[in-house]
Amino acid sequence: MSEKNQTKNMPRQNETQPIKEYLVANARQYGIYLALVVIVLLFQFLTGGTLLRPNNFVALFQQNAYVMILAVGMLMVIIGTHIDLSVGSGVALIGGIGAYVMQSWHLNWLLSIILMLAVGLLIGLWQGFWVAYVGVPAFVTTLGGMLIFRGLATHVAGQSIPVNSNSPLVAISSNFLPNVFGFWGPFDGLSIVVGLAALALFVWLQMRQRHHKLSAELKMDSNAWLVVKLIIGTFVIGYATYLFASSGNATAGGIPIILVVIAVVVSAYMFVLNRMVLGREIYAVGGNRKAAILSGINSKAVDMKIFLNMGLLAAIAGIVDLSRFASASAQAGTGYELDAIAACFIGGAAVAGGVGKIPGALVGALIMGVLNMGLSILGVSSDIVSIIKGLVVIVAVAYDLISKRRKA
């Protein structure tokens, strides 16, 4: 073959990918974002504009923080081909212990938080031991854990243990960051500054990703699609900034503290899954456990770390839950595990494991939150809400399975 023909047949480097081709290849990923937009617009219309009022927008994060936090840990569990049915009971037990030591032992709130985190790690260690080293399936282990932790929560918390409403612990879910920049007209100055920083970070990440593809000589998105993403991202961040900035007043409002907690958790675990060896090992074990073992990965250690992280995040969710209600009870956390699992599957996690991204799980959690809030504003009864959420989960999983069959 001549040199001219060889050059002609070589793949072009840094070739741009047309928008249509890119969207088809990533239909699942962008379909989730489109579904969230459609659901938000639908309820915004049905509620007469009530859904996206500034205070309701802030409440969306305050009321659904536990789902977002648990969904991050549950995603790691699902990617690793496991499931955890005990996180709701774990939240109840951890919250009950925290409330008990603060009320009966008069333990400092900060030391109580440290104790709750330690209990969460112990729960993860217990679950991980049975799954990783004894070989009991995660479904069975966590089902037993659900019963054990719920029983312990009932024993510790009883009907209810109140927490001092003036405790800094309660401020985590109810208070806002201090507005150090004052008010810019009717808007919260801190919210505007944080929004501008978020917008700058978004643009920088998009350009950095494009630069890396260029350096690695990979196929890149077209310039038109890059512009579309920048426009959409700018609008979303700008509108969210407007809502946060509009929720403030002379005494409270703006950016809730709980949003900072969510941001820290999400950033830390995105780094773990995308940049650390543990994240690559979790994806490898979930994608093909036998191949991962043959490549030298200690799958038992990976499983243990998965459940340790799930226990830690359950503890953080327990702290958030205790802060939100300012009390602990044996019934706390009921159904939390189902909300977390649903958020992961709606967000694109594969039933068979090995697939899933934290942004998708967060979008799934937001979809669940918007459904809860929108249907609540419309006065729909809780039983109908459960039916609708169940149908959404089934449709999400069915879509994943059908997509895989078509690809096969």
pLDDT tens column, 145-202: 999 999 999 999 888 999 988 889 999 998 999 888 888 888 889 999 999 999 999 9
Amino acid at 90: G
Nearest to 265 by CA among 307, 209, 233, 310: 310
Tell me the CA distances in angstroms from 362 to 72, 262, 339, 347, one per residue in order.
Answer: 8, 10, 12, 7
For the chain, the structural domain boundaries read: 51-175+256-407, 176-254
Tens of pLDDT, residue by residue over 365-392, are 999 999 999 999 999 888 888 898 888 8
* CB 360, CB 32: distance < 8 Å: yes
Tell me what the mean pLDDT of segment 83-103 comes to: 96
In DSSP notation, 175-241 reads: -B---TT-EETTEEHHHHHHHHHHHHHHHHHHHHHHHHHHHTT--EE-HHHHHHHHHHHHHHHHHHH
Is residue 307 scored above 90 in pLDDT?
A: yes
- Mean pLDDT for 198-217 is 87
SS3 at position 162:
strand
The predicted pLDDT at position 129 comes to 97
Q: Looking at residue 11, what is its pLDDT?
A: 44
Paired with 176 in beta bridges are 256
% of residues, the chain, pLDDT over 70 = 91
Query: What's the distance, Cα to Cα, between the start and end of the chain in Å?
Result: 35
Confidence grade of residue 249 (pLDDT, cut at 50, 70, 90): low
Q: Which of 90-99, 172-181, 228-237 has the highest mean pLDDT?
A: 90-99
- Of residues 232 and 185, more confidence is placed in 232
Average pLDDT of the chain to the nearest whole number:
88
Give the pLDDT confidence score for residue 85 in this predicted structure. 96
Summarize the confidence of residues 224-234 as an average pLDDT.
88
What integer pLDDT is reported at residue 172 of this predicted model? 93
Give the angle subtended at the CA of 300 by the CAs of 296 and 404, to the nearest 5°. Answer: 80
- Which pLDDT belongs to residue 155? 93
Confidence band for 4, pLDDT divided at 50, 70 and 90: very low
Under the banding of pLDDT at 50, 70 and 90, the label for residue 17 is low
More confident: 127 or 400: 127
Q: Torsion angle, CA of 171/177/179/180, rounded to 10 degrees?
A: 120
Q: Tell me the pLDDT band of 231, cut-offs 50, 70 and 90.
A: very high
Q: What is the pLDDT of residue 382?
A: 84
More confident residue, 294 or 407: 294
Per-residue pLDDT at 10: 44
- What CATH fold (topology level) applies to the domain 51-175+256-407? ABC transporter involved in vitamin B12 uptake, BtuC (1.10.3470)
Q: Is the pLDDT of residue 399 over 90?
A: no
Name which of 96-105, 122-131, 373-382 the model is least confident about.
373-382
Res 261 pLDDT > 80: yes
Choice among 1-15, 39-53, 271-285 with the minimum mean pLDDT: 1-15
Using one digit for the tens of pLDDT, what is the confidence trace for 55-75?
999 999 999 999 999 999 999
309-320 confidence digits (pLDDT tens): 999 999 999 999
Predicted pLDDT of residue 252: 62
The structure's pTM equals 0.91
Cα gap 231→335, rounded to integer Å? 38
Report the distance separating Cα 308 and Cα 7, nearest Å: 52
